[in-house]
């Protein structure tokens, strides 16, 4: 099928789910096996594996075949420097698919079943559809698809999902913060006495899925990349959540609307790649309570929570 017509958000969510399932099948086939690993940095803390590249290659080709008029931005840059440069200089279009082929690579390589594959669609910078594959086991399949589209609700498989309803953190519920959150954020006021039972899973994509279905009470992300959250942010929102983004350089947080809502879209794909903002996800009352009692620690050289380092 080609994209000679304007696709509806529901149609795109169905396609995103198919794409994510296909990539998930590839990942499951490689999970637990010896796979080739390279590193994006000299310290060898930022791995990219055969699984990452195989998943992204599948997704990119599947999307191009179905929607040839759309653009694709994946986390993994082409290995060839000239090809990577050409990609970064490509102009953006109204419909942009943003991919995280494997979020939680370190977990994956160490045999920990906490990872995901994220397929999100933006229309003029606004998320309109998305799907996430996670390796959660079910009686019928070796994985689960979360999906949502603008105005259509959010689903885990075929079941509607909702974020948790408690409007204050509680020790009975699990929250997710960056592994060294105290070096990035400081709780103040009533949040100091309890943030909930705090965890860090190592996969932003996985955590967004858990928030959407109420498995996590809420989550804070220090500096996610656009591919980490492009699908998850609309899934959380359609599950009744109110994602908040931190207004740059301040302790003020605003409801998320679009990745690029001020003025025209970035002209080059490389500009889209550079998006990073702190994010809180959960129900509206809870997110407002947490954000109003959270102070950012300003340390310019501090390494923030970034899924590409997982």
The architecture (CATH level 2) of 174-309 comes to 3-Layer(aba) Sandwich (3.40)
pLDDT value for 139: 61
- The answer to whether the CB of 62 falls within 8 A of the CB of 78 is no
Mean of the pLDDT values across residues 78-91?
Answer: 68
Q: Is the pLDDT of residue 301 over 60?
A: no
Mean of the pLDDT values across residues 138-149?
Answer: 85
- Work out the mean pLDDT of the chain and round it to a whole number: 88
Residue extents of the structural domains in the chain: 9-160, 174-309
pLDDT value for 182: 75
Rounded Cα distance between 130 and 146, Å, is 8
Residue 284: which region, alpha, beta or left (left: phi > 0; alpha: psi -120 to 50)?
alpha
Quick: pLDDT tens for 17-42: 999 999 999 999 999 888 877 766 56
pLDDT value for 41: 56
Give residue 46's pLDDT band: very low, low, confident or very high (50, 70, 90).
Answer: low
Side-chain half-sphere of 138: how many Cα atoms within 13 Å?
Answer: 11
Q: Is the pLDDT of residue 309 over 50?
A: no
DSSP 8-state secondary structure symbol assigned to residue 6:
P
Q: Long-range contacts: 30-34, Cβ < 8 Å, 24+? A: 30/54, 31/108, 31/111, 31/113, 31/135, 32/111
- Lowest average pLDDT, out of 34-43, 49-58, 63-72, goes to 34-43
Rounded Cα distance between 284 and 266, Å, is 29
pLDDT value for 73: 92
Q: Do domains 9-160 and 174-309 have the same CATH topology?
A: no
For the full predicted model, state whether its pTM sits above 0.85.
yes
Q: Which residue has the tokens 């791995």?
A: 47
pLDDT value for 179: 79
pLDDT value for 283: 98
Give residue 249's pLDDT band: very low, low, confident or very high (50, 70, 90).
Answer: confident
Mean of the pLDDT values across residues 274-281?
Answer: 94
Q: Is the pLDDT of residue 218 over 80?
A: yes
| β-strand pairing of 95-103 with 116-123 | antiparallel
Q: Counting Cβ atoms within 10 Å, is residue 274 exposed (0-12), middle (13-18) or buried (19+)? A: exposed
Q: Is the pLDDT of residue 308 over 50?
A: no
Q: Is the pLDDT of residue 3 over 60?
A: no
Give residue 43's pLDDT band: very low, low, confident or very high (50, 70, 90).
Answer: low
pLDDT value for 59: 97
Give residue 92's pLDDT band: very low, low, confident or very high (50, 70, 90).
Answer: confident
Quick: pLDDT tens for 278-292: 999 999 999 999 999
The topology under which CATH files domain 9-160 is Fructose-1,6-Bisphosphatase; Chain A, domain 1 (3.30.540)
Q: Is the pLDDT of residue 254 over 80?
A: yes
Extended strands (E) in 106-243: 116-123, 126-134, 144-149, 153-156, 159-160, 174-176, 185-187, 197-199, 218-221
100 to each of 3, 59, 135, 191, 308, how far by Cα in Å?
A: 23, 10, 15, 32, 10
- Lowest average pLDDT, out of 67-81, 165-179, 280-294, goes to 67-81
Residue 59, C-beta contacts closer than 8 angstroms, at least 6 positions apart: 19, 22, 23, 72, 74, 97, 99, 101, 117, 119
Quick: pLDDT tens for 116-127: 999 999 999 999
pLDDT value for 6: 79
Q: Is the pLDDT of residue 302 over 60?
A: no
Distance of CA 292 to the CA centre of its chain: 24
Q: Tell me which of 296 and 156 has the higher pLDDT.
A: 156
Percent of the chain with pLDDT over 90: 66
pLDDT value for 40: 64
pLDDT value for 141: 67
């Amino acid at each position: 099928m080609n994209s000679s017509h304007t696709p509806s958000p529901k149609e795109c969510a169905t396609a995103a789910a198919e794409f994510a399932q296909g990539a998930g099948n590839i990942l499951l086939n490689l999970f637990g096996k010896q796979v080739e690993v390279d590193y994006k940095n000299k310290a060898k803390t930022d791995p990219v594996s055969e699984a990452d590249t195989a998943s992204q290659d599948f997704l990119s080709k599947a999307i191009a075949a179905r929607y040839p008029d759309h653009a694709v931005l994946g986390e993994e840059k082409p290995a060839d420097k000239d090809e990577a440069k050409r990609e970064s200089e490509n102009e953006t279009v109204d419909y942009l698919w943003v991919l995280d082929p494997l979020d939680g690579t370190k977990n994956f390589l160490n045999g920990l079943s906490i990872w995901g594959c994220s397929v999100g669609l933006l229309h003029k910078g606004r998320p309109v559809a998305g799907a996430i594959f996670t390796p959660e086991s079910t009686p019928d399949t070796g994985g689960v698809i979360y999906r949502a589209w603008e105005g259509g609700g959010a689903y885990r498989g075929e079941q509607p999902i909702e974020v948790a309803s408690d409007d204050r953190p509680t020790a009975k519920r699990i929250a997710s913060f960056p592994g060294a959150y105290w070096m990035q954020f400081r709780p103040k006021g009533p949040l100091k006495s309890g943030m909930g039972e705090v965890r860090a899973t190592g996969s932003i994509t996985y955590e967004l899925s858990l928030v959407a279905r109420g498995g996590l009470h809420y989550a804070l992300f220090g500096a996610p990349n656009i591919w980490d959250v492009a699908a998850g942010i609309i899934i959380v929102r359609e599950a009744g959540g109110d994602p908040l983004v931190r207004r740059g350089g301040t302790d003020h947080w605003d409801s998320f609307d679009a990745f690029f809502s001020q003025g025209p879209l970035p002209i080059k794909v490389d500009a889209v790649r550079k998006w990073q903002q702190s994010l809180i996800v959960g129900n509206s009352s809870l997110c407002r309570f947490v954000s109003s009692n959270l102070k950012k620690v300003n340390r310019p050289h501090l390494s923030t929570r970034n899924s590409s380092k997982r």
